[in-house]
Every structure is written in structure tokens, then in C-alpha cells.
């Protein structure tokens, strides 16, 4: 793994350039090279695989398949989704990835940004139905007064179109309204997954990034990913998201934690959106 971020990492901090901040603001996402070193990544990878092997107990729907409904057998999973890994393994709290991502969030969006949730997403090789449908993250969350979000997508493997890399539609974060999202399987109680459609003029951009790199995206940026058609390469990602302290406190006050075990009615909580 080429360490393109060695000169950017300063302990818990990763230094952004003015161009990278401008990219996040204008395109709705930015690619940061080498947020983690190979040594740092190996330690996290071990913890990641303990979840995949089911060595860490995860309750209810927080271990599921995002390509199907909740009834799909584990052996057939095409997008392994594990919500809130640091809840189920508390020693992950405050890890080097989280600390470095916090520094990036501050540079992008200000000093009041705090950790909101984490998530593991893994696509096994050769799963033609492992498509993560187009969506905007904000569609999954309750309406809140503040929506500022920095969502990090860490590549545990080199991520390419072939093995289902994340893709973005640049500039969609600037649209006045969210796209229409509907339950992928008709009922949110059967499957958590929402799906939107591309519009005329949308030009998806694959984010082919290397192990240890991250993308950081805005809460309104339309994104998704294709199937893993590689015969032998996993596509593993570790997501962390930072939102304003006031927003996270409000989420928790209404019982919303980003767990798939949360009650769905909190998504209809009344609030005023401030963009």
C-alpha cells in the first residue's frame, strides 16, 4: 500500500488542503488519500473481521443484508451490514480512525462536530445482487434543525468498479429538495433500505480509492454502489459519521441512534430543517 498520506497525518490530525475543502463544498464529496497508515489499518482490520466471523454479538437487525429483506439467510448475504460496531465492541470507541476523522470534520464543518454513528459494510466476491441503491443519507434520518454531516467511507480493500466501489453524483447536495426515496422492498419493517432514482443529467462518478483512503461526503449527496463482480476480492468499508453536537443530542432525545432496532416512527419526528 502506497502511503500517500504520510505527510498529512500529524498524530490524531489529518491536514486538509484548501482545494480539498473546496471540493467537498462544490461536489459534495472529497477523496482523501492515506488517512490511515498500513499499520493503523491492520489493527482495525482485525477488529472488523471479528464482526464478519460473528465473534462479536450484534443484536437483532443491526447485522443484516442491505441488498435484501431481513429474512435472507446469512450464508447468502450480498451486502453485509453491521450497525454501530463501537456499541457492540466498546474498545473501538475513540480509535485512530475516529480521531483522525474528527479532525477532518472540524476542518470541513466547524468545531461543534461530534461522532454520531459507525457502520461496517462488506461485499463478498461474486455477488451479482450486491447493489447498494442510490440514496441520500438525510432521507434515512429524522428531520432536525441542523443537518451538517461529514460521512467517512474508509476502504479496507482497494475499491474499484469491479468490486463495487462507492459512486457519487456530484453537485446533488446543492439541490433544494431531497430526491424521492421509497422502501426498496415495499415496507421499512421488512427491509431498512431506501432507494431513489437517477434523474436525466445525473452523471455518477466512481470513487476508486485505495486501502487506507477515505471519501467524505455531504448528507445530501446522492450515492450508491454496484455489485461485486470480482471472483476473489472482497469490498470492505468502515463508515463513521460526524454531525453537530446539537443534532446528535436531539436524535438521542427522541430515541434515534441509527440502529436498525430503533422504532421507525422516530423518522417522522417533527422539526425544522435548516440548511
pTM here is 0.95
Has residue 111 been placed in a domain? yes
DSSP state of 132: E
SS3 state at 257: coil
Q: What is the pLDDT of residue 267?
A: 62
H or E element in which residue 170 lies: none
Cell numbers at residue 189, please? Answer: 419493517
Q: What is the pLDDT of residue 271?
A: 39
Residue 56 and residue 50 in contact, taking contact as beta carbons nearer than 8 Å: yes
User: Residue 249 maps to which CATH number?
Assistant: 2.60.120.620
Number of domains in the chain: 1
State which residues form the domain around 101. 9-268
Has residue 232 been placed in a domain? yes
Has residue 4 been placed in a domain? no
Has residue 274 been placed in a domain? no
Distance, CA of 119 to chain centre: 7
Has residue 171 been placed in a domain? yes
Has residue 273 been placed in a domain? no
Per-residue pLDDT of the chain (275 residues; tens, 9 = 90+): 567 889 999 999 999 999 999 999 999 999 999 999 999 999 999 999 999 999 999 999 999 999 999 999 999 999 999 999 999 999 999 999 999 999 999 999 999 999 999 999 999 999 999 999 999 999 999 999 999 999 999 999 999 999 999 999 999 999 999 999 999 888 888 888 999 999 999 999 999 999 999 999 999 999 999 999 999 999 999 999 999 999 999 999 999 999 999 987 776 554 333 33
Q: Is 186 exposed, middle or buried (0-12, 13-18, 19+ CB in 10 A)?
A: exposed
Has residue 220 been placed in a domain? yes
Q: What is the pLDDT of residue 275?
A: 35
Q: What is the pLDDT of residue 236?
A: 98
Q: What is the pLDDT of residue 188?
A: 84
Q: What is the pLDDT of residue 123?
A: 97
Has residue 190 been placed in a domain? yes
Closest by CA to 49, choosing from 120, 99, 1, 115, is: 120
Amino acid at each position: 500500500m502506497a502511503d500517500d498520506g504520510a505527510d498529512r497525518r500529524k498524530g490524531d490530525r489529518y491536514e486538509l488542503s484548501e482545494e480539498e475543502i473546496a471540493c467537498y463544498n462544490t461536489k459534495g464529496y472529497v477523496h482523501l488519500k492515506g488517512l490511515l497508515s498500513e499499520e493503523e489499518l491492520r489493527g482495525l482490520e482485525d477488529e472488523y473481521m471479528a464482526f464478519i466471523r460473528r465473534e462479536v454479538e450484534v443484536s437483532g437487525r443491526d447485522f443484516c443484508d442491505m441488498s435484501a429483506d431481513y429474512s435472507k439467510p446469512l450464508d447468502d448475504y450480498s451486502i453485509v451490514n453491521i450497525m454501530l460496531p463501537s456499541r457492540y465492541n466498546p474498545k473501538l470507541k475513540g480509535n485512530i480512525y475516529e480521531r483522525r476523522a474528527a479532525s477532518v470534520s472540524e476542518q470541513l464543518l466547524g468545531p461543534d462536530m461530534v461522532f454520531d454513528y459507525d457502520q461496517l459494510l462488506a461485499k463478498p466476491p461474486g455477488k451479482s445482487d450486491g447493489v447498494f441503491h442510490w440514496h441520500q443519507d438525510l432521507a434515512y434520518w429524522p428531520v432536525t434543525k441542523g443537518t451538517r454531516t461529514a460521512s467517512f467511507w474508509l476502504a479496507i480493500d482497494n475499491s474499484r468498479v469491479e468490486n463495487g466501489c462507492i459512486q457519487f453524483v456530484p453537485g446533488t447536495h446543492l439541490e433544494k429538495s431531497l430526491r424521492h426515496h421509497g422502501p426498496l422492498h415495499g415496507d421499512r419493517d421488512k427491509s431498512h433500505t431506501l432507494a431513489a432514482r437517477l434523474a436525466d443529467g445525473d452523471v455518477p462518478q466512481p470513487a476508486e480509492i485505495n486501502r487506507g483512503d477515505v471519501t467524505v461526503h455531504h448528507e445530501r449527496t446522492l450515492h450508491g454502489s454496484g455489485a461485486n463482480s470480482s471472483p476473489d476480492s472482497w469490498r470492505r468499508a468502515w463508515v463513521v459519521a460526524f454531525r453537530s453536537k446539537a443534532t446528535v443530542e436531539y436524535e438521542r432525545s427522541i430515541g434515534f441512534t441509527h440502529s436498525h432496532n430503533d422504532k421507525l416512527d422516530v423518522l417522522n419526528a417533527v422539526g425544522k430543517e435548516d440548511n
